[in-house]
Structures are given as structure tokens and as C-alpha cells.
Structure 1
């Protein structure tokens, strides 16, 4: 079974992927002041959401 530690690691990997692949970069301009990335990991009835402000 997935432990909450594994779910957290997977959610953090999702945020890392967003940063590595620069998915949010197209939104970097002077109009948008805040950009948040969300990494969501779930297994059965367990879910973990990690958030990181990148701008």
C-alpha cells in the first residue's frame, strides 16, 4: 500500500516536473502577480496536495 510519505514524494515530484519542464513560464509577465504550482497525488481514499509559489 502507498504510505503518506510516498504520496508526499509523488506530489513533490509533480511540482518538480512543472518547474523542470517550465509549464508555467508562459504566464510570467507583469500582469500576473502570483503563480502557484500544485502537485496532487492519490491512492484509493488517500490524497496529498503540495503547493509551491513560483512567482
Structure 2
């Protein structure tokens, strides 16, 4: 059960290096910039989450 009383289901995780190509220096900063994507993936790997 989760904190709301619902059942926990399976979770999917997808990552591809091409995700880091989402970058245009002329635009305002986007929350999914390459540095953030890479940092999140490295944190997940350090915790052994992706198998």
C-alpha cells in the first residue's frame, strides 16, 4: 500500500543517452536539461535501482 491507501503497482524506468540531446542554449532553461537528466540517472545507478 502507498501513503494514500492505494495498492503499489509496477514502475517503469527508461533512459537513453539521446535524452541528453534535449538542449537549446537559445531557449530559457528547461527542467529536463542534459545535466539534470544525467545527474538523476547517475543517482539512480548509485542506488542500484536500474537493473
The TM-score bracket by the shorter chain reads 0.3 to 0.5
Between Structure 1 and Structure 2, the one with more strand by share is 1
Point out which structure has higher relative CO (alpha carbons under 8 A, 6+ apart).
Answer: 1
Q: Which of these two proteins has the greater Rg computed from alpha carbons?
A: 2
